[in-house]
Structure 1
Amino acid sequence: MAQYMTLVDAKTLPFWRRPVALLFLMALAMPIAFNTWSALLNNFVIEVADFDGSDIGLLHTVREIPGFLAVGVIAIIVFVREQVLGLVSLILLGVATAVTAWFPSMGGILTITMLSSIGFHYYETVNQSLQLQWLKIEDAPRMLGWLMAAGSLATLIAYLAIMGLWETLNLTYNIVYLIGGGITVLIAIVAMLAYPQFEAPTVQIKKMVLRRRYWLYYALQFMSGARRQIFVVFAGFMMVERFGFEVHEITTLYLINLIANMIFAPLMGRAVGYFGERKALGFEYVGLILVFLSYGGVYYLGWGVVVAATLYVLDHMFFALALALKTYFQKIADPADIAPTAAVAFTINHIAAVFLPVGLGLLWLISPALVFVLAAAMAAISLMLAMLLPRHPEPGHETIFSRPLAQAAE
């Protein structure tokens, strides 16, 4: 990757070597390791380390600490290019995933989870920044939808292998983790060797940026992070703990999610472009309120496994609309703010993630349904914040309380 190339000059390259192609390759690489880890996690920690709800909450708190410290990316990109940092982070994620089963104790699982999480969160921070720098505003919603679909396709292949071969070949956690993590490492190394370093049109600010006019974006990021923890930590855990899902069964549920994502993510990207971020986020949050309240019904009213599994799929689909939050920021941002604000936003997104899983893990021991009721309340707050987005956001018109630049100049 010694060659440097502007985005304009990159148009002369073969399509497979252009910036968008690299974004797709990274979108394929990351989910293979991360979702292999996720698919096996609940069964692995329950069977190997005898985790309960409190333990799984602690694990996810540890996992989210690097996300809270994602602002550290700003210091690193002073010395390392974002593209390089993103690929190195992918390698760390892949290696840590590959050796997960080598550390079956509580301390070992927490340590290796911390390392894989550093790779995951630093990659995601840089990846979001590169997406918003490399994609045109008018193309971003559609392309972000296709990038999500590409990640789902890569994960689909991994899950099909787990589902079809887990019992047939009597696979072990060690074998699956080694293969999943190893593929991600291989793809990242290929990307390092095959692509030049692309120069974005605007030089990024390499210090922390906090701007008052981004306050609504920060608030939505905070609520998104708090709300997401309940789905990531407890929705899948519920399927294993309450309904006794085994590895191949929980993988089947993930498989359904992936197929739905492959079909609907591009459509959601187009919907965001057509209807705008305000309506898209509003639809997402209304849907999540209903889903989380229905999760509570699984416990209070004794609804069965089919209802719970259906809610899980709907939950996952609604979260796909979160791409609207990225395009909202792209529209209101100073182009030089994208990299530092991506790091700040990830830290804000993970503030609640550091303490919420442990606290909710203890609440889970008292009443799992209350955890989901709390999530519904968080989604309701997000809905109220989303209603403050203007129909056509732009610099100077970030919320309904600010006026478009054209009107302000009159």
Structure 2
Amino acid sequence: MPDYKKKQMYFYLIVLSVCSTAGLQCWQTLFDNFSVNVVGLDGHHIGALQSVREIPGFLALLVTYVILIIKEHKLSALSIIILGAGLFATGFLPSFSGLILTTMIMSFGFHYFETTNKSLTLQYFDKLSSPLVLSAQRSYAAGASVVVGIIIFLIAPILSYKTMYIIFGSIIIVCGLWAITKNPSKKDIIPQKKKLILKKEYWLYYFLTFMAGARRQIFMAFAIFLLVKKFGFSVQDITLLFLLNNGINFFINPLIGKFIVKYGERKLLSMEYFFLILVFISYAYVDSRSLVAILYILDHMFFNFSTAINTYFQKIADPRDIASSAAVGFTINHIAAVILPVIGGLLWIVDYKIPFLVGAFFSLISLVFVQFIRTEKISA
């Protein structure tokens, strides 16, 4: 067993990553069908809800101050409990205002865990092993999402949305309660600066993080909505699609970590943004139900390549800046995320193609700027 897998923090973050991704997977799988078929929402409602969902990500910089009063690993566990609580409550409030509230709760849990998870991983694992750890987290999370997908596919025809939200929310809360009783931390790691840090030498990391957030929101807000609204995908169809996605990602993620170690971040991110240009343009013009499903799978697969942005930052950053910069990075990632879904929802009303063409443009800009990445090769 590699040394990094023997660390208590490895198993701890794997478990919580599984919970975080599984919770989001459940929310995403049910959300669009719940919104359209139960609550009766339209494109502008979806855009507004997606913007609300990203507000906690925009406020991730507050993590820097929260960890002044609670240890970072404890905040990770507490975040998972909050995520589960938001999911649990969703079925009880089947209205636009109810979804705003439960989405906000769920999102605070998800985004604060993701912030602390990235920070803890980059603090506890060296530059050679961190790509493998981050990829392992995503691989196990994808495997868990396969299980969630299978369960939803089997129970969706016989259980109400409310019951499904209660079941999955409860499981995640229990896992969070387990984690909050554990202490995987070590005293020999480099102490973190407990203040907000914004440095000009990190400008490329900030920019790539911002652009990744912008293009991701176009996918999150409108890709699944396109499948449901234009192509009539049912909750079982979406579940099957998620199942296939995560089955593929379970096997691909470990390869991504190895690719970063061997070839570096610039090559991987260049591949991502080049193919995303093609994917987004295709979203705008495809009329085939099968082809749009393939596009969605490819798009989802490329999400995993963003691991390289985090490992790039680890290579250029002062180790004392990791926790604060992780929080600042999440906030930068969500600046566009708070605004873009609302604007995209209005553009959708004009022509649904526009948000996807904007995504292609963002991917092109990212492809240009990623060429500025320069890192030294890390050897074992």
Normalising by structure 1, we get a TM-score of: 0.89
Partner of residue 306, structure 1: 290
State the distance in 1 between where 2:155 and 2:114 align.
Answer: 30
Equivalent AA in structure 2 for residue 219 of structure 1: F
2:374 maps to 1:390: yes
CA contact (8 A) 1:149 1:265 kept: yes
Deviation at 1:357, TM superposition (A): 0.3
Report matched runs for 1:175-194 at 5 Å: 175-194=163-182
SS, match of residue 202 in structure 1: coil
State the distance in 1 between where 2:312 and 2:8 align.
Answer: 25
Deviation at 1:164, TM superposition (A): 2.0
The count of residues paired between Structure 1 and Structure 2 equals 376
Partner of residue 201, structure 2: 213
Partner of residue 240, structure 2: 252
CA contact (8 A) 2:9 2:185 kept: no
Which one has the largest radius of gyration?
Answer: 1
Partner of residue 294, structure 1: 282
Partner of residue 315, structure 1: 299
2:339 maps to 1:348: no
Equivalent AA in structure 2 for residue 117 of structure 1: S
Gapped regions of structure 2 (runs ≥ 5): none
State the distance in 1 between where 2:187 and 2:46 align.
Answer: 42
Gapped regions of structure 1 (runs ≥ 5): 1-10, 395-410
Q: 1:16 to 1:247 in 2, by over 3 A?
A: farther
State the distance in 2 between where 1:51 and 1:63 align.
Answer: 16
Deviation at 1:201, TM superposition (A): 1.1
Partner of residue 226, structure 2: 238
Q: 1:223 to 1:82 in 2, by over 3 A?
A: same
Deviation at 1:17, TM superposition (A): 7.3
Report matched runs for 1:4-403 at 5 Å: 18-167=8-157, 170-199=158-187, 201-298=189-286, 303-392=287-376
Partner of residue 403, structure 1: none
Q: 1:199 to 1:94 in 2, by over 3 A?
A: farther
Deviation at 1:359, TM superposition (A): 0.4
Moved over 6 A (4+): none
Deviation at 1:198, TM superposition (A): 3.3
State the distance in 2 between where 1:371 and 1:200 align.
Answer: 47
State the distance in 1 between where 2:11 and 2:123 align.
Answer: 14
- Which deviations, in whole Å up to 9, do the C-alpha atoms of 1:235-266 show, x marking residues without a partner? 00000001111111110001110011001111
State the distance in 2 between where 1:154 and 1:200 align.
Answer: 32
SS, match of residue 387 in structure 1: helix
Tell me how large the CA RMSD over aligned residues is: 1.6
Equivalent AA in structure 1 for residue 233 of structure 2: F
Q: 1:50 to 1:332 in 2, by over 3 A?
A: same
Deviation at 1:320, TM superposition (A): 0.8
Q: 1:114 to 1:323 in 2, by over 3 A?
A: same
Report percent identity of matched pairs. 41
